[in-house]
């Protein structure tokens, strides 16, 4: 009788452990994010951006955060020969796992759209809600990209909200410093 109970308990523990690591969800590929952020685009051109030491200091000053990386994966969007803006890919830590996301930027470095590409945490996936992500639209590094300072927090997703918000602010600052501006 005890053997049967322990077998049931161990089966339950094994099932719980198996599901605990099964929270990773891939929502969009890079190509799908491009089309979602820039549906009118006819071409996308990847262009890596490497910041100089001076540019990294400027990003830190604008964002109020460490620049974190000199190298950025940037994809320019075009309609014919007309630039529409940029999509920047990044990863931030949620609580313990990475959140992969893309930030669409207008040519003036304001945020056009934020898309969550992959979410690997067991909690906090609410950051994928369109209403939460829409809060970033039109903002720049200096105008309201801060948790509880233009971007609302989500209870139960505090770390994910904070880290994605900081990441978007850092990307907006990098865009202002390093990407060609077109008004």
Rounded Cα distance between 32 and 161, Å, is 23
- Residue 16 covered by a domain: no
Residue at 11 is within a domain: no
State the residue range of the domain holding 145: 23-178
Round to whole Å and give the CA distance between 42 and 66: 35
pTM of the model: 0.85
pLDDT tens digits for range 34-83:
999 999 999 999 998 999 999 999 999 999 999 889 999 999 999 999 99
Domain count for the chain: 1
- 9-31 confidence digits (pLDDT tens): 444 444 444 434 446 788 999 99
pLDDT value, residue 124:
83
Average per-residue pLDDT for the chain:
88
Q: Is residue 162 part of a domain?
A: yes
Which of these, 33, 48, 69, 53, lies nearest to 170 by C-alpha position? 69
pLDDT beyond 50 at 122: yes
As a whole number of angstroms, the distance between CA 111 and CA 87 comes to 10
Residue 183: its pLDDT value, please? 45
């Amino acid at each position: 009788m005890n053997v049967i109970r322990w077998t049931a308990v161990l089966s339950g523990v094994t099932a719980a452990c198996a599901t605990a690591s099964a929270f990773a969800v891939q929502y969009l590929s890079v190509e799908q994010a491009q089309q979602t952020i820039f549906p009118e685009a006819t071409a996308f051109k990847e262009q890596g951006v490497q910041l100089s030491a001076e540019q990294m200091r400027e990003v830190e000053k604008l964002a109020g955060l460490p620049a974190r990386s000199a190298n950025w994966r940037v994809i320019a969007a075009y309609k014919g020969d007309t630039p529409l803006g940029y999509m920047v890919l990044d990863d931030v830590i949620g609580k313990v796992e990475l959140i992969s996301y893309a930030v669409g930027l207008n040519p003036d470095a304001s945020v056009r759209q934020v898309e969550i590409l992959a979410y690997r945490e067991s909690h906090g996936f609410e950051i994928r809600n369109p209403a939460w992500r829409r809060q970033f639209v039109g903002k720049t590094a200096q105008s309201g990209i801060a948790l509880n300072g233009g971007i609302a927090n989500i209870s139960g997703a505090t770390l994910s909200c904070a880290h994605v918000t900081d990441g978007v602010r850092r990307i907006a600052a990098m865009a202002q410093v390093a990407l060609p501006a077109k008004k």
